[in-house]
Structure 1
Amino acid sequence: MQIVCVLIAALLAVVRCEKTEREAAFAARQLLDSTIHAELSSIVKSSEKPNANGYVYGSLEYIAPDCTSNNGDVLLYLADMSMEGGNVQADSSHVSLTIRDLTYYNDSRDRKPGVMDRARLSLMGEVSVVPDELVRICFSLEWQGHKRLFPELQLPQVERCFFTVHPDAKYWKYAHVFRFWLLKPRDIYWVGGFGSRHYIGWIGIDLYRSETSETKLVNQPRRRRSSSK
């Protein structure tokens, strides 16, 4: 009976629309904790194509909440050779991450809310490389001037956070140079859906960090689809 009550309460929490900034902050943390990929926007800095410099470049990325702090920071795993990897190395202070409620695609109801009436979250801030010994020794002069390192983050802890959600990503480093990056949001914007039913607006950073999502109410598949037919 107790389990049934918990499930009913969870369903009611999902159905109830967020109306206040605090409710939106809690919903934002729920969305982050239940989403496995998002769109990273970075500023193009390219010596290969200078006329593209200054444009905003969007890329689909695996993400994982930083489970070492549980304060709403986000882990990314980027290749040095990628466009986004080069962009954040050149400008780490102007980055945003857009996270969307993707349950629309698994909703089989005939009269389901449209994709524009689903939640989306924008986290704007700076990213910093998560240091390991190789980064400390080999790249200290290159990175110290314009990147803040976070020595309290240890690479094994970060790997557990990320590879638990994305086990396939642990093999990428054998093909190219990949680094973990930590996104620390400075500004948060929430669009819960249509404004008549949902909160739309800025969420204070302190409120966002203080709200935690102990229960993941919106779940997405967290494993790769089997290749067997």
Structure 2
Amino acid sequence: MWSLNILAFMKLLLFSLAATLPPSTGFDAIGRASQFPITPNEKAEPPNLQEITTGRSHTASLGNEDDPINKPEYTFPSWDTTHLLARRLLALSTTGVLSTVYPPSSSVHRSSLSGVPIGLPDYIADCANEPSSELEALLGPGNPLILALNVGTTFRNTRAGSNISLSLDWWHRQADGRTGVFGVGRDGVVGGAELPRLSLLGSLVPLEHLSDATRVAVERCFLDAHPDAKFWLPDHDNAVHSGYWAKLVVEEAFWVGGFGDRARIGWLDPETWKLYYAGKRA
């Protein structure tokens, strides 16, 4: 019997909104069900494993000699569905690990750290998830919003010229008391390695010269995901730290959907990444 991890994860992401699109979109039923927008602070309910259908048989059109053979009890996700899963993972994530590299020289760190990478958890928000919206135009599709604090190591490094990456995963969901629903392998052992993770690579671009209306929209979206961030909002007189709004412009994305015999692993297409808005294709 196949592990329930990937099936449960796909159910959780793709059926969090019960709807389908016309077959003309070219996706299978699972892919179509995923094409509806969600908000960064959406509370996804765990799937009912009794409702998971394991007897479906589909002929996969994979076009890759390295893909696994067809299994009658499991549908190997297409790359289109994989891009949907990745965008929904971003949309459901409000934190991630931001990684940068120490600059060659600096007065604030030891010389032995020059060129050394460092990853630190931070707040993020997927605010560009509605086509033709003000924030989508500001951020660009698939580019998360970040509140950059000048005191932070991550943002000191980016100011010194470092590029940046954002790592996301579904592993932390195991700590919320629902490991009996997902995260348990075929032998009943909790297995985080079977759950998806994503790395977004790019550059940090400050959002400058925002109008009052745009600034309010940015703050509202970020505070929806992180109410406590009200204490360090940029350009507020009572802010604890100085900072600025920025976007992580995604240039590359690497996806590990789980174990390679049942999930996609590899680089996502940057242009296809931009076509989806929190699980809805443009």
Normalising by structure 2, what TM-score? Answer: 0.61
Aligned pair 1:89/2:159, yes or no?
yes
2:100 to 20, 42, 52: 42
Alignment partner for residue 193 of structure 1, among 255, 258, 277? 258
Structure-2 residue corresponding to 1:112: 184
Q: Residue 203 of structure 2 corresponds to which residue in structure 1?
A: 126
Point out the structure with the larger helix share. 1
Deviation at 1:60, TM superposition (A): 0.5
Q: Quick check: 1:18–1:27 contact (8 Å CA) kept in 2?
A: no
Q: How far did residue 164 of structure 1 move?
A: 1.4
| Map 1:1-229 → 2, pairs under 5 A | 6=18, 11=47, 19-45=77-103, 46-48=106-108, 49-67=110-128, 68-69=135-136, 71-92=141-162, 94-101=163-170, 102-106=172-176, 107-109=178-180, 112-113=184-185, 114-132=191-209, 154-173=214-233, 174-214=239-279
Using the aligned pairs only, state the percent identity.
27
Larger Rg belongs to: 2
Gaps of at least 5 residues in structure 2 are: 1-16, 20-29, 35-46, 55-73, 129-134, 186-190, 234-238
Q: Larger strand proportion, structure 1 or 2?
A: 1
CA 75–81 in structure 1, closer or farther in 2 if over 3 Å, else same = same
- Unpaired runs of 5+ residues, structure 1, are 134-150, 216-229
Query: Which runs of 4 or more aligned residues in structure 1 lie more than 4 Å from their structure 2 counterparts after TM superposition?
Result: 7-13, 15-18
1:154 deviation in Å? 3.4
Quickly say closer, same or farther: Cα 1:18–1:71, change in 2 above 3 A: farther
Secondary structure in 2 matching 1:108: coil
Query: Please, what TM-score do these two structures have when normalized by structure 1?
Result: 0.74
* Greater length-normalized contact order (CA 8 Å, ≥ 6 residues apart): 1
CA RMSD in angstroms, aligned pairs only: 2.9
The 1-side partners of 2:143 and 2:81 are apart by 19
C-alpha change, 1:90 and 1:18, in structure 2 (3 Å) is farther
Number of aligned residue pairs: give it.
Answer: 191
Question: Contact 1:88/1:127 (CA < 8 Å) preserved in 2?
Answer: yes
- Displacement of 1:76: 1.0
Change (3 A) 1:129 1:18: farther
Structure 2 equivalent of residue 145 of structure 1? none
Q: 2: CA distance between counterparts of 1:77 and 1:213? A: 20
CA distance in 2, matches of 1:154, 1:36: 21
